[in-house]
Amino acid sequence: MRQLSEVGRLGDEGAHSFVLCGGRVFDGDRVLESASVLVSGGRIHDIGPEVQVPIGTRVIDATGKTLLPGLIDSHAHSKPGALAQALMFGVTTEMDMGSSPEWMVEQRELAATSAAVADVRSSSFGATVPGGHPSRLIGTFFPTGFPTVTDPASAKAFVRDRVGEGADYIKIIIEDGTALNREKTPFMDPETARAIVDTARSYGKQSYAHITSIEGAHRALDAGVDGLVHLFMDQPPNPSIVERIVESGVFVVPTLCTLGALSGDHSARWVADDPRTQGLIPSDWQHTLCCCWPKNPHARLANAKQAALELHRAGTRVLAGTDAASVNALGTAHGVSLHDEFALLVSAGFTPLEVLRAATSLPADTYGLTDRGRIAPGLLADLVLIDGDPTHDISHSLSIDSVWRHGHQLFRAGSPS
Ligand SMILES: [Zn+2]
């Protein structure tokens, strides 16, 4: 494993001005076949066929390459170490969907000061019932336990505590075990789930639900959540659940790479074996990528793929996310798994451009991240330069030439700096 070099402390962006010339640019919405992008002060200064470049500005030839906005992983669990791994593969923002207040504060502080890691938004702890998912991860993912909810009163207190800690949104776990654990698991009653959503809304926060079954999706929609951060895999989509999700206006993060590992239908061995990832993934994480759980008789990846495509075609906002967590969570690793998710979404029927929007402009709009997700004047210079054209062939997305966060270029093996 090569070590990341500390490319800079955030705050000295004035020293990092450059112009990328001659390449293709995907600006988050559409493709500009040949455009220049001028970066100064950590932000995009200008973009177009011809831009005014101050004398002495460093020029980077992007001929044959494609510039993308920094990628956003809409479902991760940002433990210590996650954000450096994520940035290595072009993920400049992780949406942490469940960690702890200690990790949230520590990772946020790191992201605010170091250009060598991705940025992060966080829910802190997720809300679950005693014995509910993810209680079986205590001792592996969670070193100790976490607070739980039992009724609407404790739900209100839970949300108040998360908001007090500084959570950006609230995560609710609605999991009866049908598809996930292959056995019944205690799960949240509808009144308690509703109390979480209503209390979060009273604080101006959105609520995002873990579900893996159609029944769970109905329960989450009954509670009034704003997003589903997995998709169901217990059954193929039926017209009533598709119509209900579309009409509710919630967004969906399928996390196909994790559902594939949980159902035993997919492993990310190809990612670990790919020459473009060699030397960039620690060996324990490579091992995690190569593994999946045994075949699950109650879950199929094909169900979630079909649901993702039908929802997308019916107008639901479908975002790219991985559920990368720890080495105990088989089948995923931070950053690199987003490229596995891209491949899975394309195999489900999405076009490469739709997939790239699902990891850039769409999540930025969904989460109100108005300073990123596109390449446009005034936005943060969170950028990924790809050798090739992922707007036509999504497998090129792993051919990463360079990554910048706030205009700071990350040192990667083979990169020029
Ligand atoms: Zn998760």
Output the CA 324–ligand 1 centroid distance in Å. Answer: 7
Q: How far apart are CA 272 and CA 86, in angstroms?
A: 15
Output the CA 239–ligand 1 centroid distance in Å. Answer: 26
Output the CA 302–ligand 1 centroid distance in Å. Answer: 20
Do the beta carbons of residue 350 and residue 370 sit within 8 Å?
no
Residues with Cβ within 5 Å of ion ligand 1? 97, 323
Q: How far apart are CA 212 and CA 340, in angstroms?
A: 20
Output the CA 229–ligand 1 centroid distance in Å. Answer: 8
Output the CA 97–ligand 1 centroid distance in Å. Answer: 6
Output the CA 19–ligand 1 centroid distance in Å. Answer: 38
Output the CA 77–ligand 1 centroid distance in Å. Answer: 6
Pairing of β 207-210 and β 227-228? parallel
Output the CA 335–ligand 1 centroid distance in Å. Answer: 14
Full pLDDT tens readout for the chain, 417 residues: 334 444 578 887 767 799 999 999 999 999 999 999 999 999 999 999 989 999 999 999 999 999 999 999 999 999 999 999 999 999 999 999 999 999 999 999 999 999 999 999 999 999 999 888 887 777 777 778 888 999 999 999 999 999 999 999 999 999 888 787 667 888 899 999 999 999 999 999 999 999 999 999 999 999 999 999 999 999 999 999 999 999 999 999 999 999 999 999 999 999 999 999 999 999 999 999 998 888 888 899 999 999 999 999 999 999 999 999 998 888 999 999 999 999 999 999 999 999 999 999 999 999 999 999 999 999 999 999 999 999 999 999 999 999 999 999 998 864 433
Output the CA 323–ligand 1 centroid distance in Å. Answer: 5
Q: How far apart are CA 231 and CA 209, in angstroms?
A: 10
- CATH numbers and ranges of domains, the chain: 1-70+372-417 (2.30.40.10), 71-369 (3.20.20.140)
Output the CA 331–ligand 1 centroid distance in Å. Answer: 13
Q: How far is CA 126 from CA 164, 210, 230, 242, in A?
A: 14, 9, 14, 26
Q: How far apart are CA 51 and CA 54, in angstroms?
A: 10
